[in-house]
A and B are shown apart, each in its own frame.
Chain A
Amino acid sequence: MNAFAAPADESAISEAVRDASAQNIRLRLVAGGTRSTIGKPLKDVRSLDLAANAGITRYEPGALTIEARAGTPIREIEAALAAENQMLPFEPVDHRALLGGTGEPTVGGVVACNISGPRRFLSGACRDFLLGVRLVDGRGRILKNGGRVMKNVTGLDLTKLSCGAYGTLGIVTEVSLKVLPRSERSVTLQFAGVDVPQAARLFARTITTPFEVSGASWMNGIANLRVEGLGMQVDYRLSKLRALFPDYASSVLEGDAHHSLWAAVRDVHVFAGGADSVWRVSVKPTDAPKLVAELKTRLSARAMLDQGGAVVWLAVPSDSPDQAVIVRGAIPGGQGYATLVRGNDALRLSVPAFQPQHPRLEQISEGLRRQFDPQQILNPGLMAA
């Protein structure tokens, strides 16, 4: 793909878009490029490199807010937060292990794709912590929405709208995020020899307690609960949670073993490498076992559960387009969505990566894209069915 421009800042990005628009050039938006294989492969595009527009612009630990230009590496943001014992509460997935990228994940990419990890079911998603954005739309207009305060209902919430739009409404140039304190202590309560139905019951039981379980994952017969809080609070919560399951043997992981476990869950290490197609399915947590069982039978799919079963990761040993209908059809009652996160170009060209919605909603989304980007030059068709 040939490069179009590598603008240094927001006004240069706006100019580049105006140029592209004048020449009717379609743009592939890229910074670290670690998620460039998610969505429909783009045709006839030139790349707009957004990595240079970087840097933390303001960080106020006492206000729990951080602002940064979109090209800022996530690593840099997490390091700044860690120095103040704070964190991005939505625990964004690093897709490099799963998708094989080698670039540097940026905050703009995380926001544009609304990327969240294991803590999402307790704390909220990236979109829940996004307080404001600046955008350059397909006309080259520089737009701002939201701000840097936690409560804000001044006008329409285009901040959330642009989060997860994969750049198809506008290029995110600067973001403002709410952050949270890190817990004083964080440990894993682990149950071995657990099958998927047992894990689902275990999750339903624990995440409906007041003990603020902040991670609930299952893979290879092991269920993991993340328990956090002030030092002594963690002991208390562990004893309460263990008491709920007297029949299960449990153990506690701390320190490095604990941290690498949750990094592995977050980044789906279990499906790293290999050629399997990988799906991320959002479901009603109690429906997860039925979904997993059916897809094991029909597609020989392997599964990992995250977020208490609200997210099911599936590896399907096939690149046949038929799998899309089968995976989506297996979601009980149609109450959920399956996203193709990893698939070869041919598969992604033949099936929609993002689950098609009701035609009226697709029509609204298309209408919105036309307002922001009338010529459809920003990541054109990336989210298309």
Chain B
Amino acid sequence: MSTIQMPIPDPAVVERKTELLRSLAKILPSDSVIFEEHEVRAYECDALTAYRCPPMAVVLPRTTEECSAVMKICSTLNISVVPRGAGTSLAGGSLPTADSIVLGTARLNDVLEIDYDNRFIRVQTGVTNLSVTARVEENGFFYAPDPSSQLACAIAGNIAMNSGGAHCLKYGVTTNNLLGVTMVMADGDVVEIGGVAMDAPGLDLLGLICGSEGQLGIVTEATLRILPQPEGARPVLIGFDSAEVAGECVANIIRSGVLPVAIEYMDRPCIRVVENFVKAGYPLCEALLIVEVEGSEAEIDLQLEKIIGLARALNPVELRVSTSAEESALIWKGRKSAFGAMGQINDYMCLDGTVPVSELPYTLKRISDLSKEHGLEVANVFHAGDGNMHPLILFDANKPGDLEKAEVFGFDILRTCVDVGGCLTGEHGVGIEKRDLMTYQFNADDLEIQMQVKDVFDPSWLLNPTKVFPLDMSAERRRRTV
């Protein structure tokens, strides 16, 4: 049995399925509604595969108008809606409930406008993260947020979870690169928030929408900032024989005034697996940093010289600058394949807590102690520059009790992140996974005001209602849907 509490479906809502399908058939083409039992199974989980539940139906609208029509029906019938991008959430953000429908953005995949002089692109939100860059790179531009899942993940999900990635140390996360959205409200109304001009007056609703896990509205179109590509980029590998010294190196680099675009961290268990998988040429050491800088050749040399000087002072066991574009690509391929490579050899649970950079060494030490206490191995691969940790807890899904053990271990790590001044999740979202821990980071008033904000956007709690907030805490509000 999982340690995470699960909602109980409302049989009265499930009974309205026929009526729901009849209404949907009137507004959507038949290929946009999925309701056969064997077909909805494809949507029973996201990347948090330990938890599954088929929805009543899945709708795949092609336009904002279709999306609005769906929301009007669901709001009339009081049926809750679970928004879904590409289904890559590691936190169960798009896990359905048996009395809900899934609204997927997969067919919202048009690019609507590209404006290089004003540096923006407007897209439907079902497009993948990487395809945004692909559309503008020939003209020398890119879209900065780069989550590891960027080949598959949709902009809709990036906005819902305020996704980051390796390069956000310099370029920021989704919220810093989002200029405007078209959003369908819970009652089907369509609103435009923000736009191509910066800093709309009034309350920062755009900032509120970003990272709201599909609980405030369904974002169907987005205006994104695109940036000119740097002239070049080059990573350096710096290996240390202890996590503490690697952590010190990170702080020294950041403090020095050189701002790398990325500082990534990998520990020995992770390096070993990634090397077997990708052959990225990583040295096998206790703590490996991948530090990348950008600019012209001369600018890169200048910055690397500073960074190497700082690293040398701490006696690294390995210090190697990439010598070619191929080598750089391979170094990044290794980093971005880390989760996949671990998945090849083991079941794992990927956490996402963030800690102040100064607390990295302590937190790594504490994770290693907890690993011994719980009797489960852990591998670390994360964005060190901004303290966003990704401990991978290794377990055996086929061994009874192992998943539960991993969850308990994971909760201990996340509590540690909060204890040292950090947070439960940096870029994956709360979803269902960290729902029960929210009371550890926030007190009752802090959570009440967040739920009050949802009340304003979605008074009947139809949008992704069982996520983010502890179920007991949201129960009364969720009953409004009945």
Spell out A's residues near B (CB within 8 Å).
60-65, 84-85, 114, 116, 120-121, 124-125, 127-128, 137, 141-145, 147-161, 163-165, 169, 180-182, 184, 204, 207-210, 229-230, 232-233, 236, 282-286, 307, 310-311, 335-337, 339, 354-355, 357-358, 360-362, 364-365, 367-368, 371-372, 383
Contact = CB atoms under 8 A, between A and B. Distances in A.
B173 A151 contact: yes
23 contacts: A63-B387, A64-B254, A114-B204, A121-B198, A143-B445, A143-B446, A145-B446, A149-B354, A153-B428, A156-B208, A156-B216, A157-B207, A181-B259, A204-B117, A204-B118, A208-B141, A232-B302, A233-B295, A233-B298, A282-B199, A310-B198, A311-B198, A383-B202
A208 B230 contact: no
Nearest to B456: A367
Given A310-B197, A368-B203, A184 B356 contact: no
A71 to B, nearest CB: 22
Cβ-closest 5 pairs across A and B = A160-B207, A151-B426, A62-B251, A354-B201, A367-B456
Contacts of B454: 156
A266 to B, nearest CB: 15
Given A149-B387, A151-B426, A85 B302 contact: no
A142 to B, nearest CB: 7
A144 B426 contact: no
Interface string B116-151: 111100000000000000000000110000000000
B154 to A, nearest CB: 16
A156 B453 contact: yes
B355 to A, nearest CB: 7
Interface stretch (B160-168, B235-243, B322-330): B160-168
B197 A284 contact: yes
Contacts of A362: 202
Contact of A337 (B164, B197, B428): B197
Contacts of B442: 144, 155
Contacts of A361: 191, 193, 202, 205
Given A147-B423, A208-B116, A161 B208 contact: yes
A163 B161 CA distance: 20
Contact of B202 (A65, A181, A365): A365
Contacts of A85: 257
A63 B426 contact: no
B197 A150 contact: no
Nearest to B422: A149
Contacts of A311: 198
A164 B208 contact: no
Nearest to A339: B201
Contacts of A165: 203-204
Nearest to B252: A62
B427 A286 contact: no
Contacts of B425: 152-154
B208 A158 contact: yes
Contacts of B169: 150
B203 A161 contact: yes
Interface in B336-367: 354-358
B176 interface: yes
Contacts of B117: 204, 208, 285-286
A19 B407 CA distance: 46
B208 A157 contact: yes
A335 B195 contact: yes
Contacts of A142: 445
B199 A62 contact: no
Contacts of B202: 354-355, 357, 361-362, 365, 383
